[in-house]
Amino acid sequence: MMHHAIEKHKEFFFIGFELRTDNQKCSLEMPIHKDRFFNENILAKIPNKINGTILAVYTDYEGDYTQPYSWILGVQVSSLDEVPAGLVGKVIPESHYAVFTTKGEFPQGLVAAWQAIWQSDLSRSYTTDFELYSSDFDPQRNPEVKVYIAIKRDK
């Protein structure tokens, strides 16, 4: 099992570009979706951005990780008052997260992190998980990604 930290995050607002997919189709669909996100400069269309950190949010799970879910590329925002056409606004609930930091090349390190997560005994809540790409992320020079997995915590 990869080493991970536990962090608590407060609720936040998020706007992004949504893809409904599952783990059978995602390797074909996600690269096309990501290319559209960057080629159409969707980031520039998102109002009320807090910073330049891109999140890839996994949410609206129909069950566990074998079931369909939404994969949404976007950013944290200060408000959901304006959600541009073609994009979705989400309230990401307060949660505890198991946080994994990828190692090595991209995307191999990210794939390895997800494989470790799927094989782990984490008590996942399947509310919202996300990958955090810092504003200085670079697939070649700075390939580190943080993967946040929502977990159930005993009260």
Per-residue pLDDT of 116-148, as tens digits, reads 999 999 999 999 999 999 989 999 999 999 999
- Please name each of the domains of the chain with its CATH number: 5-151 (3.20.80.10)
- Spatial CA neighbour of 75 closest among 151, 150, 130, 113: 130
User: How far apart are the C-alpha atoms of 122 and 148, rounded to whole Å?
Assistant: 12
Prediction pTM value: 0.94
Per-residue pLDDT of 22-73, as tens digits, reads 999 999 999 999 999 999 999 999 999 999 899 999 999 999 999 999 999 9
